[in-house]
Amino acid sequence: MNKNYIFSLIGLLMFSFGHAQNYKKPLVSAIKETDLRKDMYELAADQFWGREAGTLDELKVSMWLADKAKEAGMKPAGDNGTFFQFFDMYRHQVTPQSSLKIGNSSLKLWKDFLVAEPVNSSIDSEIVYAGNTEPEELSKLNIKGKVLTVNASDKNIDQEMTLFVRRYPGFVRTKYYSKAYELGAKAIIFITDDISENSWVEVLPQMTRGTYGVEGLREKITDNIPVLWIKRENAGWVKNNPKIFLNLMTETYKYPSVNIIGKIEGTDPALKEEYVLLSGHQDHDGIRHPVKNDTIYNGADDNASTCVALLAMARAYKKQPGKRSILFVFHGAEERGLLGSRWHAAHPVVPKEKIVAVLNGDMIGRNDNNEAALLGGNAPHKNSEELVKMAEDANNESTKFKYLKDWDSPNHAEYFYFRSDHLPYAKAGIPAVFFTSVLHDQYHTPQDESENINYKKLYKMTEWMYRTSWKVANEAERPKVIPNFTLER
């Protein structure tokens, strides 16, 4: 045998040994499908009435989660030696005293007209009825100091979005708002088309609830111009450029919400001071309008699925800890605008620089057993090469999901990357990825219940998250953030 070949082979073997994993394999056998199923049927049961943020039902389920976290082996990591990190959520709402008069017609709030978002405003002006004018044509009109009224248009709006009827008003608003504001309009009134007309009953509860924020991160409610909706049958009110008298008043309420936070300490004397953050959200939509004679929005997949997965992973880490510590965060008020994760990212219970990565799950229990998405796995959403590599290696080792990469595209109709709890951490400069089995036709309906979960899929997704976290918890080098990473949306 050639002597140089022998030396090369020896060198390669030495290199391989030097870079081989010097830690145990993940204890996947500790994760049980029976545990996932049992916890799911309790967490997503009617007893918690849909776990709406800011209600006693969210607080009740938080107690359940804290008990389960302790039972699974976690130590408290919240405030004052507890599992709880409380925060205040603020609800900004249009008051019933608000009024609207168009010409000689006095209109009733929430019956004759909708207010898309809470804004304090007093307007005595003239309406400019623009019919089917598109945004790029608005500059031809004199709308400065006046109220623009247009027929809602779906032109250039992707209609493939899940629950499109519910989100449609938001997209129409965005389409016209900036241009109307730039041209000096005092307000916008949209006249419904078929899609928005049919969505009226679904949009109404959202708009009456108002908007939500957290202390120190509260949304401004005075700088925006009002956006109103009226039904097509009442279009005669706004034609012929009548006078409009609008008086919108808002009020703000404070509600308690809470993150449930536990930890399992690592074994390495130095690395145990660093944390792998595993996250999901505990809340859902509570009681809403009936669908198929059911009004409880149980949120089994969204997002009890990840909560029970975190409990399962905790049991595995209790039996076999990693070198780094694991921080388990069950966020509150995600459905109100990522409030719990926004709060914890700004007020972490451990030093921010000690959080080496965030592995977030949201909706991990439905659809094809062999397909899943890793959001943040591709540019421009990818913020860590090493973290994504660990997730991909973990998938290749066992679960072997086919990636639904289009869901991570900035052009995907759902903009799904921006809609879960990894986002505030990614914005804070922490490596972050989002595991999901994506949407389905029972998303945000009362039919998202325990019996409709695909438990084989939930187990595989749990295993994938766990295997990834195990790598992050044990590799000598922590994942790095891609230099100059920015989020453009």
Looking from the CA of 153 toward its CB, the CA atoms found within 13 Å total 14
- Amino acid code (one letter) for 289: H
pLDDT digits (tens, 9 = 90+) for 306-348: 999 999 999 999 999 999 999 999 999 999 999 999 999 999 9
| Phi/psi at 477 (5° precision) | -100, 135
Residue 318: which of 270, 262, 265 has the closest Cα?
265
- How far is residue 462's CA from residue 142's CA, in Å, rounded to a whole number? 57
Hunting for tokens 């620089």 — which residue is that?
Answer: 353
Q: What count of other Cβ atoms lies within 10 Å of the Cβ of residue 46? A: 11
Q: Note if the bond before 303 is cis, omega within 30 degrees.
A: yes
What angle (nearest 5°) sits at the alpha carbon of residue 403, between those of residues 362 and 387? 70
Q: Which of 92, 123, 251, 117 is CA-nearest to residue 173?
A: 117
Q: Could you tell me where in the chain the CATH 3.40.630.10 domains are found?
A: 21-91+255-474
Where, residue-wise, is CATH 3.50.30.30 in the chain?
96-248
CA–CA separation, 281 vs 60, rounded Å?
A: 15
What is d(CA 364, CA 460) in angstroms, rounded to the nearest whole number? Answer: 9
In 3D space, the residue among 104, 100, 141, 105 whose CA is nearest the CA of residue 121 turns out to be: 100
For residue 86, give the nearest of 304, 333, 319 by alpha carbon. 333
pLDDT attached to residue 426: 98
The encoded tokens of residue 26 equal 């993940």
Closest CA to 333 of 386, 288, 281, 278: 281
Under CATH, to which class is 21-91+255-474 assigned?
A: alpha beta
d(CA 320, CA 26): 8
Tokens 């004679």 map to which residue?
293
Distance, in Å, from the CA atom of 371 to the CA atom of 465, rounded to the nearest integer, reads: 14
188, 226 Cβ separation under 8 angstroms = yes
The count of other CB atoms within 10 Å of the CB of residue 287 is 15
pTM confidence score: 0.91
What are the pLDDT digits (tens) for 367-412?
999 999 999 999 999 999 999 999 999 999 999 999 999 999 998 9
CA dist 266 and 323 (Å) reads 5
Q: Tell me if 116 sits within 8 A of 207, measured CB to CB.
A: yes
Of 148, 142, 95, 82, nearest to 121 by C-alpha is 95
Reference 127, options 147, 145, 108; nearest CA is 147
Cβ atoms of 405 and 375 within 8 Å: the answer is no
Q: What is the 3-state secondary structure (H, E, C) of the chain?
A: CCHHHHHHHHHHHHHHHHHCCCCCCCCHHHCCHHHHHHHHHHHCCHHHCCCECCCHHHHHHHHHHHHHHHHHCCEECCHHHCCEEEEEEEEEEECCCCEEEECCEEECECCCEEECCCCCEEEEEEEEECCCCCHHHHHHCCCCCCEEEEECCCCCCCCCCCCHHHHHHHHHHHHHHHHHHHCCCCEEEEECCHHHHHCHHHHHHHHHHCEEEECCCCCCCCCCCCEEEECHHHHHHCCCCCEEEEEECEEEEEEEEEEEEEEECCCCCCHHHCEEEEEEECCECEEEEEECCEEEECCHHHHHHHHHHHHHHHHHHHHCCCCCEEEEEEECCHHHCCHHHHHHHHCCCCCHHHEEEEEEECCCCCCCCCEEEEECCCCCCCCCHHHHHHHHHHHHHHHCCEECHHHHCCCCCCCHHHHCCCHHHHHCCCCEEEEECCCCCCCCCCCCCHHHCCHHHHHHHHHHHHHHHHHHHHCCCCCCCCCCCCCCC
Tokens (6 digits) for 22: 């010097």
The HSE-up count of residue 288 (CA atoms within 13 Å, CB side) is: 24
Backbone φ, ψ for residue 411 (5° rounding): -100, 5
Distance separating alpha carbons of residues 221 and 206, to the nearest angstrom: 16
User: For each of the chain's 489 residues, which pLDDT tens digit applies?
Assistant: 454 444 444 444 444 444 456 899 999 999 999 999 999 999 999 999 999 999 999 999 999 999 999 999 999 999 999 999 999 999 999 999 999 999 999 999 999 999 998 999 999 999 999 999 999 999 999 999 999 999 998 887 777 777 666 567 788 888 999 999 999 999 999 999 888 888 888 888 889 989 999 976 655 555 789 999 999 999 999 999 899 999 999 999 999 999 999 999 999 999 999 999 999 999 999 999 899 999 999 999 999 999 999 999 999 999 999 999 999 999 999 999 999 999 999 999 999 999 999 999 999 999 999 999 999 999 999 999 999 999 999 999 999 999 999 999 998 988 999 999 999 999 999 999 999 999 999 999 999 999 999 999 999 999 999 999 999 999 999 999 999 999 877
Task: Give the fold, CATH level 3, of 96-248.
Answer: Glucose Oxidase; domain 1 (3.50.30)
